[in-house]
Amino acid sequence: MTAYLIRRLLLIIPTLWAIITINFFIVQIAPGGPVDQAIAAIEFGRGSGLNAGGGAEYSSAASAGLGSANLGDGQYRGSRGLDPEVIAEIKHRFGFDKPLHERYFTMLWNYIRFDFGDSLFRGGSVMSLITSSMPVSISLGLWSTLIIYLVSIPLGIRKAVYNGSAFDTWSSTLIIIGYAIPAFLFAMVLIVLFAGGSYWDLFPLRGLVSSNFDTLPWYQKVTDYLWHITLPVLATVIGGFATLTMLTKNSFLDEVRKQYVTTARAKGLDDKKILYRHVFRNAMLLVIAGFPATFISMFFTGSLLIEVIFSLNGLGLLGYDATLQRDYPVMFGTLYIFTLIGLLLNIVSDITYTLVDPRIDFEARN
């Protein structure tokens, strides 16, 4: 198993390289990059909206290249076009004055050292932005995945045991209804009902913790954190039960119909022993295989709208804003982190396979 894990860890290197390389060259040929956005911001008098480190110089550059953008009476004169020197300065500021291959190899060297550079539009390093956003995404991802698994696995087992019963029918109806409700719509309902909307004001609407969080004792910090995370997690998990519950149910039904179960019953083994000692171990393999995809979907894709609605500054919102702004360092930094997490979770999934069923030997397979 050790040699297998070493090979899987080494395989992360070419996988990361391929993903980053493909996305790097695709993004380079896409229109509307940071240079275009900076020029457009200057031409329309929004130079101050750029990176705090370069906004002032762009405003002055705009004055040099455009002359006075506004008449004395406050009327907007409009764009006259930028001088080539101003455009060259913008390209130099963003690093686009260097050849493509030089930017590419510089990026690879920096990423090996986990140096993602500075954000083009936000100010500060990309790593600091990712670090500050990570607790929100980890909180949503872990709590959502944990709740989904704690509910779906026992529910799926019970549905398999009582397949075709009234319990199976109405529970299937409920999880399908939950699956059909969009997460953002359910979030709005929760806000209206429980976050100071038209009914009760029981939960906060913004942030992961209160403004006085640092001054609270540890037990109140725990309570305050759970108080803030309750509604976002509920909104995130509403549609996550159906897939895992039905997967668990169908996996158990497939195993129950196999010959070894019939043989065990013929030997006089109790149904509970058969279910939890034999069927459970085999049926859970498919469920475990879906853990990385479930966590990643909760960690990024599924939490994006939730982060927007509840004003949570997580990685999903950070990556989305960076894509809209063409903030390449943040885009590639978040992509790098998400890819690395996904690859490591796949390895964790393989390790969990062997914990559930020790008969699985990846070394023997190789």
CA angle 191, 197, 198 (to 5 degrees): 130
Query: What are φ and ψ of residue 195, in 5° steps?
Result: -125, 45
What residues are paired with 70 via a beta bridge? 76
pLDDT, tens only, 69-124: 333 333 333 334 556 776 677 676 666 777 888 888 888 888 888 888 888 777 78
Q: Decide if pLDDT at 30 tops 80.
A: no
**pTM for the predicted model, two decimal places:** 0.70
**Token duo for residue 330:** 């943040």
According to the 3-state scheme, what is the secondary structure of the chain? Answer: CHHHHHHHHHHHHHHHHHHHHHHHHHHHHCCCCHHHHHHHHHHCCCHHHCCCCCHHHHHHHHHHHHCCCECCCCCECCCCCCCHHHHHHHHHHHCCCCCHHHHHHHHHHHHHCCCCCECCCCCCEHHHHHHHHHHHHHHHHHHHHHHHHHHHHHHHHHHHHCCCCHHHHHHHHHHHHHHHCCHHHHHHHHHHHHECCCCCECCCCCCCCCCCHHHCCHHHHHHHHHHHHHHHHHHHHCCCHHHHHHHHHHHHHHHHCCHHHHHHHHCCCCHHHHHHHHHHHHHHHHHHHCHHHHHHHHHHHCCHHHHHHCCCCCHHHHHHHHHHHCCHHHHHHHHHHHHHHHHHHHHHHHHHHHHHCCCCCHHHHC
Range 130-365 has CATH code 1.10.3720.10:
yes
pLDDT of residue 72: 36
pLDDT band at 315 (very low <50, low <70, confident <90, very high): confident
CA distance 65 to 83: 5
Sketch the domain layout of the chain as residue ranges.
Answer: 33-113, 130-365
CA–CA separation, 313 vs 228, rounded Å? 13
Closest CA to 312 of 241, 239, 236, 198: 236
| Exposure string for 339-363, b = 16+ CB within 10 A, e = fewer | bebbbebbbebbeebeebeeeeebe
- 48 confidence band (pLDDT: 50, 70, 90): very low
CB atoms within 10 A of CB 235: 28
pLDDT at residue number 120: 76
Per residue in 136-183, pLDDT (tens digit) is 888 888 888 889 888 988 898 889 888 889 999 999 999 988 888 888
CA separation, residue 269 to residues 241, 341, 357 (Å): 32, 43, 20
Rounded Cα distance between 295 and 310, Å, is: 20
- Report whether 120 contacts 94 (CB < 8 A): yes
Place 309 in a pLDDT band, splitting at 50, 70 and 90: confident
Distance set, CA 4 to CA 118, 281, 285, 286, 328 (Å)? 37, 22, 19, 21, 35
